[in-house]
Amino acid sequence: MPLDLSESLVIGISATALFDLSQADKIFKEKIDKDPETAMEEYRKYMLKNEDKPLKDGTGMPLVKALLNLNKFQKENEPPIVEVIVMSRNSPETGFRVLNEIRRRNLNISRSAFTAGESNVDYLEAFYVDLFLTTNENDAQKVIDSNVCAAAIVKAPPKTDKSLDENQVRFAFDADAVIFNEESEIVNQTKGLSSFHAHENNKQDTPLARGPHANLLIKLSKMQERLPGRIEFSPVRLAIMTARNSPAEMRVIKTLRDWNVYVDEAFFLGGLEKSRFLKAFKPHIFFDDQDSHLDPAAADIPSAKVLYPSNSVLTNLIKNKK
């Protein structure tokens, strides 16, 4: 009987988000600019020559290690709590280095897809993927536009060498255009902060519509129910870091109640820099839609950008402001 992963949290992650393959990527880009016809062969030679050399952590490694550790709570005859799928544009041959590194580290990752230059986005639904982490903007955009699952482009790995706790996994989410849709942010961008506050206060009893990472948050909340102990002490901890503040905070809390989602921590920061609070919360991943929030945080915290859909009103608003 085929394995059904629909009840598991499934993370699809590109090889370049799991491991630091920036040197190999740089070599390929340099080769393809100079001589596209021989670039793939030169890249192949480089990967084969270096296939036994260890790789450094990519941005997604702390998250993956902490998530895989949750499977120690898996009950007999139940599907895994977490499944990680490595998805790579390498061919199986050039991807050997990635598989070799997974074995060297004893990571409990048994499923992978190597597509030899083709996008692997079309296979996400077949793998039951709930979250796709990648370094490829085109792939992330395609996922966001298709609504198959949550997706984000990881920033460069943090510069700090401080390790994160692997006995608990921590997620931090921005609110508008990430957990919730972009409706309220459009009001903010077009009519200003005062109108935004009035709009949200007047609509505080109307639940916000789901954004690109809403289903992921809901899945994480349900996953907490499979884990031992009271939810307040769960090995999965969820936080919302939003620039909202009073009187725009009530709608967020009431929406989460409507979704039956338990969030451990919520920060309504009203313009304070998020990176200061993220350093204290120490998430394994932080999702936001704005580089102005991500870039200060990324030096210390694994961070990932959530793109707007291609037909997003916000995309055009931001373009017109530049």
Q: What is the CA radius of gyration of the chain?
A: 20
- How buried is 88 (Cβ within 10 angstroms: 0-12 exposed, 13-18 middle, 19+ buried)? buried
Contact 8, 79 (CB under 8 A): yes
Helix H or strand E encompassing 239: strand 236-242
Hey, what are 280's tokens? 């204290």
Check 174, 176, 288, 289 and give the catalytic one. Answer: 174
Phi-psi region of 187 (alpha: psi -120 to 50; beta: other; left: phi over 0): alpha
Q: Which amino acid is at 77?
A: N
Pairing of strands 303-305, 150-154: antiparallel
Q: Where are the alpha helices (DSSP H) in 35-192?
A: 36-49, 61-68, 96-104, 137-146, 183-191
Contacts of 222-228 spanning 24+ positions with Cβ under 8 A? 223/9, 223/81, 224/262, 226/73, 226/81, 227/70, 227/73, 227/81, 228/73
Burial class (CB in 10 A: 0-12, 13-18, 19+), 165: middle
Identify the bridge partners of residue 173 per DSSP, sorted by sequence position: 240, 287
Residue 174 annotated among the catalytic residues of the structure: yes
Helix (H) or strand (E) segment spanning residue 22: helix 22-34
Q: Which residues are catalytic?
A: 174
